[in-house]
Amino acid sequence: MLKPEVQINRIIDEVSKVIVGKRDVMQLVLTGILADGHILFHDVPGNAKTTMAKAFSMVMGLEFNRISFTPDLLPNDILGVSIYNMKVNEFEFKKGPLHTSILLADEINRASPKTQSALLEAMQEKQVTIDGIEHKLGPPFIVMATENPLEYEGTFPLPEAQLDRFLIKTSVGYPDTVDDEIAILTRRIGRKQESFSLNAVITNDEFIALQKEVENVNIDTAILEYITKLIRITREDKKIAVGASPRGSLGLVLASRAWALIHGRDFVNPKDIQDMFIPVIAHRIILKSGDLLSGLSPEAVLRDILESVPAPRLE
């Protein structure tokens, strides 16, 4: 079996055949996937979020489904429903599109709060309950959700409990350079349709083994203390109304171990924590209303916290 760093590079390189630039974003998405966590893209439409989610599923040989969330979408539309079969005289469960390995929940904040909350059990427990019967999801089961900015018409804010279920929040953003944007246009002209095909560079067993490698990444007690200090300050900072919960601390541990593996190390260093702190924690804190109205962002507050806490020195 190939070394983890070789497999990781092969995955990123294959996805790069349809995604121009954005290697840092691809590494962040792969971090969430390897950590078996859900990923939230906060972005304007048209920045290749769907393409990226589909590309990762192809490259890793994982089943992929997409749900376009709309205000009239009902919970059963995504979870599935029990239907009475007259031939066998019993109810049969018809799976909804949620039953897959990688689910793209497109424009999730266009759905009603009732439908959004239907995802909570699935995201946290990796199962859904229909008519009192539990139906397991995965492994793996990873939600990649996209949300439009709240100022867009027809959007609903995601409940805090649901936001907390996402391991990482990020954005793809516009192309980094003029050359990147020209490359995107050139590639699109070369394809007659928007569809694309990529090779699976690892098998399902190799993918599961790669996820298990994350658990073998060492994290020193000094790093755990560093994480604890950072998280506790989010609960004490005067600009923050609601700080990060212990789930945030655990998420930072998971993400930093996967991030270290992606960068070819079997141990977590302070830079890994600094790199993951904002993507993992920014969506889990709530600023006080006055600071929020003044234009202050959670990311800016967290950057100040990072600067205020000395990083530990590892032997």
Q: b/e per residue, 81-97, with b = 16+ CB within 10 A?
A: beeeeeeeeeeebeebe
pLDDT single digits (tens) 131-160: 777 778 878 899 998 887 655 555 667 777
Model confidence, pTM: 0.86
More confident residue, 263 or 179: 263
**Nearest-angstrom CA–CA distance, 95 and 83:** 11
Token output for 57: 């599923």
Contacts of 196 (CB under 8 A, 6+ apart): 18, 51, 55
Say if strands 38-42 and 142-147 run parallel, antiparallel, or are unpaired: parallel
Q: What is the mean pLDDT of residues 92-121?
A: 81
CATH superfamily of 217-308: Magnesium chelatase subunit I, C-Terminal domain (1.10.8.80)
**What CATH class does 4-208 carry?**
alpha beta
Element housing 103 (H / E): strand 102-106
Give the pLDDT score at 227: 96
Q: Rounded mean pLDDT of the chain? A: 84
Say if strands 90-95 and 80-85 run parallel, antiparallel, or are unpaired: antiparallel
Among the residue ranges 13-17, 77-81, 281-285, the one predicted with the least confidence is 77-81
89: three-class secondary structure by DSSP:
coil
pLDDT single digits (tens) 78-88: 887 777 677 77
**Nearest-angstrom CA–CA distance, 30 and 35:** 8
Give the pLDDT score at 131: 72
Token output for 25: 């974003």
Say if strands 102-106 and 142-147 run parallel, antiparallel, or are unpaired: parallel
**Listed residue (154, 94, 159, 146) closest to 120, CA to CA:** 159
Q: Do domains 4-208 and 217-308 have the same CATH topology?
A: no
Residues of the chain with pLDDT > 70, as a percent, come to: 91
CA angle 166-29-251, nearest 5°?
A: 40
Is the peptide bond between 139 and the residue preceding it cis, with omega within 30 degrees of 0? yes
CA angle 263-162-153, nearest 5°?
A: 105
Per domain, the residue ranges of the chain are 4-208, 217-308
